[in-house]
């Protein structure tokens, strides 16, 4: 019985660590297309899996899952803040006057593509 509980706990710890690593990689490698960088929800899952495995005390992989999940969430929030900052700054006429018309067209096309997806 104890061996089965230990295997289940190991599975949740492994999932926590894997999801934490994926959250960091998805923040660094993928452009957010849904409006929220993917590292945020995946990092939340990593922390949740670590908490699920914490029955009877936390061990190394669970702690690593919490650390990597938190790091993925923080990176995702920073990326999200940067995107919002750029969008807000593009509404300022003084900033828009610094770009050439062809550059503005590229920026407008990218924002339109970002909004429609």
Domain boundaries, position 100: 2-116
Note if the pTM is more than 0.85.
no
- For residue 44, what pLDDT is reported? 92
- For residue 115, what pLDDT is reported? 66
CA-CA distance, 32 to 57, in Å (whole number)? 35
Give the count of domains, the chain. Answer: 1
Residues of the chain with pLDDT under 50: none
| pLDDT digit string, tens, across residues 69-80 | 999 999 888 888
Tokens of 97: 């006057």
């Amino acid at each position: 019985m104890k061996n089965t509980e230990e295997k289940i706990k190991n599975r949740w710890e492994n999932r926590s660590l894997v999801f934490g690593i994926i959250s960091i990689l998805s923040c660094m490698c993928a452009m957010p297309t849904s409006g929220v960088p993917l590292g945020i929800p995946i990092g939340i899952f990593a922390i949740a899996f670590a908490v699920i495995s914490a029955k009877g005390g936390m061990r190394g992989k669970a702690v690593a899952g919490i650390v990597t999940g938190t790091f993925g969430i923080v990176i995702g929030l920073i990326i999200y803040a940067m995107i919002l900052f750029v969008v807000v700054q593009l509404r300022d006429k003084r900033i828009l006057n610094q770009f050439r018309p062809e550059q503005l067209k590229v920026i407008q096309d990218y924002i339109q593509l970002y909004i429609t997806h």
